[in-house]
Amino acid sequence: MADSQAPLNFNPAELIRRVEDTEKRLQTKDAEIQVYKMLVSQMEEELAQAKKFKELHDKQSLDVDSMKSESEKTLTKAKSLLFEKAKIIKNQELQIEAFAQQIDSLKEVVRITKDLLQIRNLEIEQLETKISCIEAKTKAEQERYDLMRKKLETMIRHNGELKREYETQLCLFQALRERYNERELAKGVVEGLKQGINKIDSDNAVKTDPQSSATDDVNNDAKTTNNDLIEVKNQLDDTLSVLEKTLGLEQSKTQVPVDLKSNSNAPEADVVPEKTEQEPQKDEKTDSEEKTDNETKPEASSTLGSIISAIKSTVGLGSDDNRAEASNGEVVENK
Protein backbone atom coordinates (compact mmCIF):
# COMPACT_ATOMS: atom_id res chain seq x y z
CA MET A 1 0.00 0.00 0.00
CA ALA A 2 2.81 2.33 0.80
CA ASP A 3 4.43 1.58 -2.57
CA SER A 4 1.20 2.17 -4.48
CA GLN A 5 0.52 5.37 -2.75
CA ALA A 6 4.07 6.66 -3.09
CA PRO A 7 3.71 8.04 -6.63
CA LEU A 8 0.66 9.87 -5.64
CA ASN A 9 2.79 11.96 -3.39
CA PHE A 10 4.73 13.46 -6.37
CA ASN A 11 4.29 17.05 -7.26
CA PRO A 12 2.40 17.87 -10.43
CA ALA A 13 5.29 19.89 -11.77
CA GLU A 14 7.61 16.98 -11.43
CA LEU A 15 5.11 14.74 -13.16
CA ILE A 16 4.82 17.14 -16.02
CA ARG A 17 8.59 17.34 -16.36
CA ARG A 18 8.88 13.58 -16.39
CA VAL A 19 6.16 13.30 -19.02
CA GLU A 20 7.92 15.84 -21.19
CA ASP A 21 11.21 13.99 -20.81
CA THR A 22 9.59 10.72 -21.81
CA GLU A 23 7.96 12.39 -24.82
CA LYS A 24 11.30 13.81 -25.93
CA ARG A 25 12.91 10.42 -25.60
CA LEU A 26 10.07 8.87 -27.59
CA GLN A 27 10.50 11.47 -30.31
CA THR A 28 14.22 10.80 -30.54
CA LYS A 29 13.54 7.08 -30.65
CA ASP A 30 10.98 7.62 -33.44
CA ALA A 31 13.51 9.69 -35.41
CA GLU A 32 16.12 6.96 -34.99
CA ILE A 33 13.58 4.34 -36.09
CA GLN A 34 12.82 6.39 -39.21
CA VAL A 35 16.52 6.70 -39.97
CA TYR A 36 17.02 2.97 -39.52
CA LYS A 37 14.04 2.31 -41.80
CA MET A 38 15.54 4.53 -44.47
CA LEU A 39 18.84 2.73 -44.16
CA VAL A 40 17.08 -0.62 -44.42
CA SER A 41 15.23 0.50 -47.57
CA GLN A 42 18.49 1.77 -49.10
CA MET A 43 20.21 -1.51 -48.32
CA GLU A 44 17.31 -3.43 -49.88
CA GLU A 45 17.53 -1.27 -53.01
CA GLU A 46 21.27 -1.84 -53.24
CA LEU A 47 20.71 -5.56 -52.80
CA ALA A 48 18.10 -5.57 -55.60
CA GLN A 49 20.47 -3.62 -57.87
CA ALA A 50 23.25 -6.05 -57.09
CA LYS A 51 20.98 -8.97 -57.97
CA LYS A 52 19.97 -7.25 -61.19
CA PHE A 53 23.59 -6.56 -62.10
CA LYS A 54 24.46 -10.16 -61.41
CA GLU A 55 21.59 -11.38 -63.57
CA LEU A 56 22.62 -8.96 -66.32
CA HIS A 57 26.21 -10.18 -66.14
CA ASP A 58 25.00 -13.76 -66.38
CA LYS A 59 22.81 -12.87 -69.35
CA GLN A 60 25.66 -11.07 -71.09
CA SER A 61 27.89 -14.07 -70.67
CA LEU A 62 25.18 -16.29 -72.06
CA ASP A 63 24.63 -13.82 -74.93
CA VAL A 64 28.31 -13.85 -75.74
CA ASP A 65 28.31 -17.63 -75.93
CA SER A 66 25.19 -17.64 -78.06
CA MET A 67 26.58 -14.91 -80.33
CA LYS A 68 29.76 -16.91 -80.76
CA SER A 69 27.80 -19.99 -81.78
CA GLU A 70 25.55 -17.95 -84.04
CA SER A 71 28.52 -16.26 -85.71
CA GLU A 72 30.00 -19.67 -86.43
CA LYS A 73 26.68 -20.78 -87.90
CA THR A 74 26.39 -17.61 -90.00
CA LEU A 75 29.94 -18.11 -91.26
CA THR A 76 29.11 -21.59 -92.48
CA LYS A 77 25.89 -20.28 -94.02
CA ALA A 78 27.76 -17.45 -95.74
CA LYS A 79 30.23 -19.90 -97.22
CA SER A 80 27.41 -22.05 -98.53
CA LEU A 81 25.58 -18.96 -99.85
CA LEU A 82 28.72 -17.74 -101.61
CA PHE A 83 29.07 -21.11 -103.28
CA GLU A 84 25.42 -21.02 -104.34
CA LYS A 85 25.72 -17.40 -105.53
CA ALA A 86 28.71 -18.35 -107.67
CA LYS A 87 26.64 -21.07 -109.27
CA ILE A 88 23.75 -18.64 -109.77
CA ILE A 89 26.08 -16.08 -111.35
CA LYS A 90 27.36 -18.64 -113.80
CA ASN A 91 23.79 -19.65 -114.65
CA GLN A 92 22.79 -16.01 -115.04
CA GLU A 93 25.71 -15.38 -117.39
CA LEU A 94 24.53 -18.29 -119.50
CA GLN A 95 20.96 -16.90 -119.35
CA ILE A 96 22.23 -13.45 -120.36
CA GLU A 97 23.86 -14.93 -123.43
CA ALA A 98 20.64 -16.76 -124.27
CA PHE A 99 18.62 -13.59 -123.66
CA ALA A 100 20.96 -11.65 -125.96
CA GLN A 101 20.32 -14.17 -128.70
CA GLN A 102 16.58 -13.95 -128.03
CA ILE A 103 16.77 -10.14 -128.17
CA ASP A 104 18.45 -10.30 -131.55
CA SER A 105 15.78 -12.67 -132.82
CA LEU A 106 13.04 -10.47 -131.30
CA LYS A 107 14.50 -7.40 -133.02
CA GLU A 108 14.25 -9.26 -136.29
CA VAL A 109 10.67 -10.22 -135.46
CA VAL A 110 9.86 -6.59 -134.57
CA ARG A 111 11.25 -5.40 -137.88
CA ILE A 112 9.15 -7.98 -139.74
CA THR A 113 6.03 -7.10 -137.71
CA LYS A 114 6.55 -3.39 -138.49
CA ASP A 115 6.57 -4.22 -142.18
CA LEU A 116 3.45 -6.34 -141.73
CA LEU A 117 1.78 -3.55 -139.74
CA GLN A 118 2.48 -1.08 -142.53
CA ILE A 119 0.90 -3.47 -144.98
CA ARG A 120 -2.02 -3.95 -142.56
CA ASN A 121 -2.45 -0.19 -142.20
CA LEU A 122 -2.64 0.16 -145.96
CA GLU A 123 -5.29 -2.56 -146.07
CA ILE A 124 -7.18 -0.85 -143.22
CA GLU A 125 -7.15 2.46 -145.09
CA GLN A 126 -8.52 0.74 -148.17
CA LEU A 127 -11.19 -0.97 -146.07
CA GLU A 128 -12.10 2.37 -144.43
CA THR A 129 -12.56 3.95 -147.84
CA LYS A 130 -14.72 1.00 -148.89
CA ILE A 131 -16.73 1.23 -145.64
CA SER A 132 -17.24 4.97 -146.13
CA CYS A 133 -18.51 4.28 -149.65
CA ILE A 134 -20.82 1.55 -148.33
CA GLU A 135 -22.08 3.88 -145.57
CA ALA A 136 -22.79 6.57 -148.13
CA LYS A 137 -24.66 4.04 -150.26
CA THR A 138 -26.61 2.75 -147.26
CA LYS A 139 -27.44 6.32 -146.26
CA ALA A 140 -28.67 7.04 -149.77
CA GLU A 141 -30.66 3.80 -149.74
CA GLN A 142 -32.11 4.70 -146.34
CA GLU A 143 -33.11 8.13 -147.61
CA ARG A 144 -34.64 6.54 -150.69
CA TYR A 145 -36.44 4.03 -148.50
CA ASP A 146 -37.76 6.81 -146.25
CA LEU A 147 -38.88 8.75 -149.31
CA MET A 148 -40.62 5.69 -150.73
CA ARG A 149 -42.26 5.01 -147.37
CA LYS A 150 -43.50 8.60 -147.19
CA LYS A 151 -44.80 8.29 -150.75
CA LEU A 152 -46.53 5.03 -149.86
CA GLU A 153 -48.06 6.64 -146.77
CA THR A 154 -49.30 9.56 -148.85
CA MET A 155 -50.61 7.14 -151.49
CA ILE A 156 -52.41 5.11 -148.82
CA ARG A 157 -53.87 8.28 -147.33
CA HIS A 158 -54.95 9.54 -150.77
CA ASN A 159 -56.38 6.11 -151.55
CA GLY A 160 -58.46 6.22 -148.37
CA GLU A 161 -59.56 9.76 -149.16
CA LEU A 162 -60.45 8.73 -152.72
CA LYS A 163 -62.40 5.77 -151.39
CA ARG A 164 -64.34 7.99 -149.00
CA GLU A 165 -64.94 10.49 -151.78
CA TYR A 166 -66.14 7.70 -154.05
CA GLU A 167 -68.54 6.47 -151.36
CA THR A 168 -69.87 9.99 -150.79
CA GLN A 169 -70.25 10.53 -154.55
CA LEU A 170 -72.04 7.18 -154.84
CA CYS A 171 -74.41 8.11 -152.01
CA LEU A 172 -75.06 11.47 -153.65
CA PHE A 173 -75.69 9.78 -156.98
CA GLN A 174 -78.17 7.37 -155.39
CA ALA A 175 -79.90 10.31 -153.71
CA LEU A 176 -80.00 12.09 -157.07
CA ARG A 177 -81.51 8.97 -158.63
CA GLU A 178 -84.21 8.85 -156.00
CA ARG A 179 -84.96 12.55 -156.42
CA TYR A 180 -84.96 12.17 -160.19
CA ASN A 181 -87.50 9.34 -159.89
CA GLU A 182 -89.58 11.48 -157.54
CA ARG A 183 -89.36 14.34 -160.02
CA GLU A 184 -90.48 12.09 -162.88
CA LEU A 185 -93.34 10.84 -160.72
CA ALA A 186 -94.30 14.41 -159.89
CA LYS A 187 -94.11 15.34 -163.58
CA GLY A 188 -96.39 12.41 -164.45
CA VAL A 189 -98.86 13.48 -161.77
CA VAL A 190 -98.74 17.08 -163.00
CA GLU A 191 -99.27 15.95 -166.59
CA GLY A 192 -102.25 13.85 -165.48
CA LEU A 193 -103.65 16.83 -163.61
CA LYS A 194 -103.12 19.06 -166.62
CA GLN A 195 -104.91 16.55 -168.82
CA GLY A 196 -107.76 16.34 -166.29
CA ILE A 197 -107.99 20.13 -166.16
CA ASN A 198 -108.00 20.40 -169.94
CA LYS A 199 -110.65 17.70 -170.14
CA ILE A 200 -112.76 19.47 -167.55
CA ASP A 201 -112.35 22.76 -169.44
CA SER A 202 -113.39 21.11 -172.67
CA ASP A 203 -116.38 19.50 -170.96
CA ASN A 204 -117.33 22.85 -169.47
CA ALA A 205 -117.05 24.50 -172.89
CA VAL A 206 -119.27 21.84 -174.49
CA LYS A 207 -121.86 21.73 -171.75
CA THR A 208 -123.14 25.32 -171.53
CA ASP A 209 -126.82 24.74 -170.88
CA PRO A 210 -128.00 27.51 -168.50
CA GLN A 211 -131.48 25.98 -168.13
CA SER A 212 -130.37 22.93 -166.10
CA SER A 213 -129.63 23.56 -162.45
CA ALA A 214 -127.84 20.24 -162.25
CA THR A 215 -125.39 21.42 -164.87
CA ASP A 216 -124.83 24.62 -162.88
CA ASP A 217 -124.08 22.59 -159.80
CA VAL A 218 -121.69 20.43 -161.76
CA ASN A 219 -120.08 23.52 -163.22
CA ASN A 220 -119.69 25.01 -159.76
CA ASP A 221 -118.16 21.78 -158.54
CA ALA A 222 -115.89 21.73 -161.57
CA LYS A 223 -114.84 25.32 -160.89
CA THR A 224 -113.99 24.52 -157.28
CA THR A 225 -112.16 21.44 -158.46
CA ASN A 226 -110.34 23.55 -161.03
CA ASN A 227 -109.39 26.05 -158.34
CA ASP A 228 -108.15 23.23 -156.12
CA LEU A 229 -106.22 21.77 -159.02
CA ILE A 230 -104.73 25.17 -159.83
CA GLU A 231 -103.60 25.56 -156.22
CA VAL A 232 -102.14 22.05 -156.26
CA LYS A 233 -100.46 22.84 -159.57
CA ASN A 234 -98.94 26.00 -158.12
CA GLN A 235 -97.71 24.02 -155.12
CA LEU A 236 -96.28 21.40 -157.46
CA ASP A 237 -94.58 24.08 -159.55
CA ASP A 238 -93.02 25.59 -156.42
CA THR A 239 -91.92 22.16 -155.24
CA LEU A 240 -90.51 21.29 -158.65
CA SER A 241 -88.62 24.58 -158.79
CA VAL A 242 -87.17 23.87 -155.34
CA LEU A 243 -86.26 20.33 -156.42
CA GLU A 244 -84.71 21.57 -159.65
CA LYS A 245 -82.63 24.11 -157.75
CA THR A 246 -81.55 21.44 -155.30
CA LEU A 247 -80.79 18.95 -158.05
CA GLY A 248 -78.94 21.55 -160.06
CA LEU A 249 -76.85 22.47 -157.01
CA GLU A 250 -76.02 18.84 -156.30
CA GLN A 251 -75.19 18.16 -159.93
CA SER A 252 -72.81 21.12 -159.98
CA LYS A 253 -71.20 19.84 -156.77
CA THR A 254 -70.86 16.19 -157.61
CA GLN A 255 -70.17 16.33 -161.39
CA VAL A 256 -71.00 12.63 -161.60
CA PRO A 257 -71.91 11.19 -165.06
CA VAL A 258 -75.31 9.65 -165.64
CA ASP A 259 -73.92 6.19 -166.40
CA LEU A 260 -72.11 6.01 -163.02
CA LYS A 261 -74.51 3.36 -161.79
CA SER A 262 -73.61 1.07 -164.67
CA ASN A 263 -69.89 1.57 -163.89
CA SER A 264 -70.26 1.19 -160.11
CA ASN A 265 -68.51 -2.19 -160.24
CA ALA A 266 -65.40 -0.63 -161.85
CA PRO A 267 -62.22 0.01 -159.80
CA GLU A 268 -62.06 3.05 -157.59
CA ALA A 269 -59.22 4.63 -159.53
CA ASP A 270 -61.33 4.61 -162.76
CA VAL A 271 -64.43 6.14 -161.20
CA VAL A 272 -63.10 8.69 -158.78
CA PRO A 273 -61.60 11.81 -160.37
CA GLU A 274 -58.08 12.91 -159.56
CA LYS A 275 -57.65 15.32 -156.67
CA THR A 276 -55.77 18.56 -156.85
CA GLU A 277 -53.90 20.46 -154.20
CA GLN A 278 -57.08 22.34 -153.26
CA GLU A 279 -58.81 19.10 -152.27
CA PRO A 280 -59.04 19.84 -148.49
CA GLN A 281 -60.96 23.06 -149.20
CA LYS A 282 -63.35 21.17 -151.49
CA ASP A 283 -63.84 18.51 -148.86
CA GLU A 284 -64.71 21.18 -146.31
CA LYS A 285 -67.16 22.74 -148.74
CA THR A 286 -68.75 19.40 -149.59
CA ASP A 287 -69.12 18.59 -145.89
CA SER A 288 -70.98 21.85 -145.24
CA GLU A 289 -73.07 21.40 -148.37
CA GLU A 290 -73.85 17.80 -147.44
CA LYS A 291 -75.11 19.04 -144.09
CA THR A 292 -77.43 21.53 -145.80
CA ASP A 293 -78.52 18.83 -148.29
CA ASN A 294 -79.22 16.39 -145.47
CA GLU A 295 -81.27 19.11 -143.78
CA THR A 296 -83.23 19.88 -146.97
CA LYS A 297 -83.76 16.21 -147.97
CA PRO A 298 -86.39 15.35 -145.32
CA GLU A 299 -88.15 18.69 -145.86
CA ALA A 300 -88.35 18.17 -149.64
CA SER A 301 -89.44 14.55 -149.28
CA SER A 302 -92.09 15.46 -146.68
CA THR A 303 -93.43 18.30 -148.82
CA LEU A 304 -93.41 16.05 -151.89
CA GLY A 305 -95.26 13.30 -150.01
CA SER A 306 -97.88 15.74 -148.73
CA ILE A 307 -98.32 17.19 -152.22
CA ILE A 308 -98.69 13.73 -153.77
CA SER A 309 -101.28 12.73 -151.15
CA ALA A 310 -103.14 15.99 -151.77
CA ILE A 311 -103.01 15.34 -155.52
CA LYS A 312 -104.35 11.83 -155.05
CA SER A 313 -107.20 13.08 -152.87
CA THR A 314 -107.93 15.85 -155.35
CA VAL A 315 -107.81 13.43 -158.25
CA GLY A 316 -110.25 11.25 -156.36
CA LEU A 317 -112.58 14.22 -155.90
CA GLY A 318 -112.23 15.15 -159.55
CA SER A 319 -113.08 11.63 -160.63
CA ASP A 320 -116.14 11.68 -158.36
CA ASP A 321 -117.16 15.05 -159.85
CA ASN A 322 -116.66 13.72 -163.38
CA ARG A 323 -118.76 10.72 -162.53
CA ALA A 324 -121.49 12.98 -161.09
CA GLU A 325 -121.26 15.25 -164.12
CA ALA A 326 -121.53 12.29 -166.47
CA SER A 327 -124.55 10.95 -164.58
CA ASN A 328 -126.18 14.39 -164.62
CA GLY A 329 -125.55 14.67 -168.37
CA GLU A 330 -127.19 11.33 -168.96
CA VAL A 331 -130.17 12.43 -166.87
CA VAL A 332 -130.49 15.65 -168.87
CA GLU A 333 -130.29 13.79 -172.15
CA ASN A 334 -132.92 11.36 -171.01
CA LYS A 335 -135.16 14.27 -170.04
* Structure confidence at residue 204 as a pLDDT band (50, 70, 90): low
Residue 239, pLDDT > 50, answer yes
Give the span between the Cα atoms of 149 and 279, in whole angstroms: 22
In a domain, 210, yes or no: yes
In a domain, 257, yes or no: yes
Residue 212, pLDDT > 60, answer no
CA 195 to chain centre: 73
Give the span between the Cα atoms of 184 and 104, in whole angstroms: 116
In a domain, 126, yes or no: no
Helix (H, G, I), strand (E, B) or coil at 212: coil
CB 237 within 8 A of CB 322: no
The sign one gets for the Cα dihedral 157, 159, 160, 161 is: positive
Residue 215, pLDDT > 80, answer no
Give the span between the Cα atoms of 275 and 240, in whole angstroms: 33
Model confidence pLDDT, tens digit, residues 115-169: 999 999 999 999 999 999 999 999 999 999 999 999 999 999 999 898 898 898 8
How many domains does one find in the chain?
1
Report the pLDDT value the prediction gives residue 101, as an integer from 0 to 100.
92
CA 14 to chain centre: 127
In a domain, 207, yes or no: yes
Give the span between the Cα atoms of 326 and 320, in whole angstroms: 10
**Residue 7, φ and ψ in degrees, nearest 5:** -65, -25
Model confidence pLDDT, tens digit, residues 275-320: 443 444 444 444 544 444 554 444 545 555 555 555 555 444 444 4
Percent of the chain exceeding pLDDT 70 equals 59
User: Residue 104 is which amino acid?
Assistant: D
Q: Helices (H), strands (E): how many in the chain?
A: 5, 0
User: Residue 11 is which amino acid?
Assistant: N
Report the pLDDT value the prediction gives residue 76, as an integer from 0 to 100.
87
Reading phi first (left if > 0) and then psi (alpha if -120 to 50, else beta), residue 86 is in: alpha
Read off the pLDDT of each residue in 18-25 and give the average, rounded to a whole number: 88
Q: Among residues 297, 247, 264, which one has the least CA distance to residue 167?
A: 264
Q: Which domain holds residue 256?
A: 175-334
First and final C-alpha spacing in the chain: 218
Which has more confidence, 108 or 65?
A: 108
In a domain, 66, yes or no: no
Integer CA distances (angstroms), 178 to 9, 183, 184, in order: 176, 9, 10
* Structure confidence at residue 79 as a pLDDT band (50, 70, 90): confident
User: Which residues neighbour 279 within 8 Å (Cβ) at sequence distance 6 or greater?
Assistant: 161
In a domain, 317, yes or no: yes
Report the pLDDT value the prediction gives residue 56, as an integer from 0 to 100.
82
**Residue 216, φ and ψ in degrees, nearest 5:** -65, -40
Model confidence pLDDT, tens digit, residues 259-280: 433 444 333 433 333 344 344 4
In a domain, 134, yes or no: no
The mean predicted confidence, pLDDT, of the chain is 72
Read off the pLDDT of each residue in 93-120 and give the average, rounded to a whole number: 92
* Structure confidence at residue 233 as a pLDDT band (50, 70, 90): low
In a domain, 259, yes or no: yes
Q: Which residues of 45-73 are buried (b: 16+ CB within 10 A; e: fewer)?
A: eeeeeeeeeeeeeeeeeeeeeeeeeeeee
Give the span between the Cα atoms of 165 and 163, in whole angstroms: 5
Give the span between the Cα atoms of 194 and 315, in whole angstroms: 11
Burial, 262: exposed, middle or buried (Cβ in 10 Å; 0-12, 13-18, 19+)?
exposed
Give the lowest-confidence range in 29-38, 238-247, 274-283, 292-301.
274-283
User: pTM for the complete prediction?
Assistant: 0.28
User: Residue 184 is which amino acid?
Assistant: E
Task: Write a three-state SS string for 130-153.
Answer: HHHHHHHHHHHHHHHHHHHHHHHH
CA 41 to chain centre: 100
